[in-house]
Structure 1
Amino acid sequence: MTVLSGNIKKMSVDVNADNLAQYQLNVGDTAINMNDVIGKRISVNYQATINCVHCGRKTKKSFNQGYCYPCLTKLAQCDICIIKPEKCHYHQGTCREPSWGEANCLQSHFVYLSNTGNAKVGITRFVTDGVSSRWIDQGASQAIPILRVQNRLMSGLVEIALKAQIADKTNWRKMLQGEAEPIDLKALKDTLLKNAAPQLNELKNQFGIQSIADIESDIINIRYPVDVYPTKIKSINLDKELGFEGQLQGIKGQYLLLDQDRVINIRKYSGYHLDIDIQ
């Protein structure tokens, strides 16, 4: 039996040589390889304690998946433009933390298409060895970067131009109900960019020809460590249930899939202090 206790954060993700998603959960100062836990019984108890993932302050309520209210109101990474990048206001001189904005927002970003049960458009900062951790966090079975843009503001403006034709959100219930049917993302890319050409050209005229660059890339396929998918999803709410116990049957996105069709979004509980027993 392995017994761990501490504040958690969202699972760290990667892929192996076969593009199988790899998960690691940090509990306090200890890291657990969650792929190795699949098939085992786990027991989780919530100690009714939350600490901010940024400053460590004890907080009665978690905001933006792990932050206390003071950090929510002062950190650039908690500003509305992180959720809606088209609202980036660095150029107006009103960024909460200009140095953070320069390091994270005034860098090139990628616009991508993915398959999370349905096709969607999204943005990501990093594509490492062909794979973005954002795709794994969203449970994408396929993904392809289609454009490289000069900064986060531009990524949001391009996303707006494309999402008139395609969703920009993941249907998490559909994503968790099984393996998605393959989508020809290359053909979809061609259609979307053709239809959005007037809006994209207008952005290039406004921000410069090099502000948006087309990318030629192959479709990336990602697999997930799932033995059994749920049929009727029952979401676990730690704030109400204060814990759960059962067999871990798989992991997809940031969700643990348990027996009896139960699922829990680990990312939602970043900063929560949990006691975890693995048998």
Structure 2
Amino acid sequence: MEFQGVCHKMHANLANHSVTPNHTEQANVEYTFILDRSKVDIPFSLGQSIEISWTGNIYCTSCGKKTPKSYSQGHCFKCFKTKAECDMCIMKPETCHYHMGTCREEDFAQRVCFQPHIVYLANSSGLKVGITRINQMPTRWLDQGASQALPIMKVGSRRLSGHLETMFAEQVADKTDWRKLLKGSPEPLDLLEIRDELIGEFQDQIEEISNEFSLNLDFNEDVELLLSEKPKSFIYPIAQYPAKIKSLNLDKTPTIQGILQGIKGQYLMLDTGVINIRKYTGYELIIRFH
């Protein structure tokens, strides 16, 4: 069976929801490959042989033009330099410069940056703090391969969430160690207890940041503590973690193949190595199942 198209990150969906005795909301993660921005229901399963080939073509996910190189996960150089979605503030929200009048795209700011955002705790390769738009839950957690997650604050803008994330990052990591992520499941954490400790420790700084942003009368940038949220737990389709982490690279080896042993975050775990599917956004791929 063969499928061909422009690669986008895999779509993750939750199934078999349940509540554990400790009141954690638990669900299984299911994946679908995305080619040409259409959900392709590829019938793959653990233990199946997969072959992924790159045709040598890359297409910009913004303008659609062919590009010799991918920038910022699937953009041509022109879009990389001009589109707001490729600005540094996407990676570092606290550097948002909309209030300075220098935003690249007004529409993007209204559609993305000034939508409600969540500050959350997660357990992926260990404890981390992160942010996401409210409509990107649980997608953001699943893309990062989080085994546990807990929303702790709701705010009115991306820049505000970035300042709070940076504040918490003084005590908690804000990045995932992808190698550790793929070596096994992390030890379970009491995210409710950690949340309460962090909010107590940073109470004065939270109030200071909240007061600063409340002066902006153009947008609702209040800070709301989410004390009634329950922890979330996610079970990924993994038959076996790799004994040794070997990264597979389509730029160096245009065709890779192996037996699918697991999926976590945006990584396929094969018996021959691991590959980050999101890294190849914009690449034209041929996917074969044997």
Measured against the shorter chain, the TM-score band is over 0.9
State the partner residue of 2:237.
225
| Structure 1 residue runs without a partner (length 5+) | none
Q: Which moved more, 1:24-33 or 1:73-82?
A: 24-33
Give yes or no for contact 1:23–1:34 (8 Å, CA) kept in 2.
no
How much has 1:179 moved relative to structure 2?
1.5
Q: 1:107 aligns with which of 86, 102, 115?
A: 115
How much has 1:174 moved relative to structure 2?
0.8
State the AA in 2 paired with 1:119: L
Q: Deviations over 1:43-101 (max 9, x none)?
A: 11111111111111111110111111111111111111111000111111111110110
**Secondary structure, in 3 states, of the residue corresponding to 1:11?**
strand
**Secondary structure, in 3 states, of the residue corresponding to 2:209?**
helix
In the alignment, the residues of structure 1 paired with residue 67 and residue 240 of structure 2 have an alpha-carbon distance, to the nearest angstrom, of: 36
TM-align CA RMSD: 1.6
State the partner residue of 2:91.
83
State the partner residue of 2:34.
26
Give yes or no for contact 2:168–2:198 (8 Å, CA) kept in 1.
yes
State the partner residue of 1:11.
10
Q: Deviations over 1:186-236 (max 9, x none)?
A: 111111111111211111221229621100211000110111111210000
State the AA in 1 paired with 2:72: N
State the partner residue of 1:175.
181
State the AA in 2 paired with 1:197: Q
Q: Which moved more, 1:162-171 or 1:4-13?
A: 4-13
State the AA in 1 paired with 2:162: G
Q: TM-score of the superposition, structure 2-length normalised?
A: 0.91
In the alignment, the residues of structure 1 paired with residue 65 and residue 86 of structure 2 have an alpha-carbon distance, to the nearest angstrom, of: 16
State the AA in 1 paired with 2:44: D
Q: Detail structure 1 runs of 4+ shifted over 4 Å in the superposition.
A: none
Give the paired residue count.
Answer: 275
Cα distance change of structure 1 residues 185 and 174 upon mapping to structure 2, 3 Å threshold? same
| Structure 2 residue runs without a partner (length 5+) | 18-26, 216-220
Q: Deviations over 1:1-54 (max 9, x none)?
A: x11112111111121133111211122376444673322101111111111111
State the partner residue of 2:53.
45
In the alignment, the residues of structure 1 paired with residue 43 and residue 233 of structure 2 have an alpha-carbon distance, to the nearest angstrom, of: 19
**Secondary structure, in 3 states, of the residue corresponding to 1:155?**
helix
Alignment partner of 1:135 is 2:141: yes
In the alignment, the residues of structure 1 paired with residue 37 and residue 129 of structure 2 have an alpha-carbon distance, to the nearest angstrom, of: 35
Q: TM-score of the superposition, structure 1-length normalised?
A: 0.94
**Secondary structure, in 3 states, of the residue corresponding to 1:58?**
coil
Give yes or no for contact 1:117–1:181 (8 Å, CA) kept in 2.
no
State the partner residue of 1:123.
131
State the AA in 2 paired with 1:269: Y
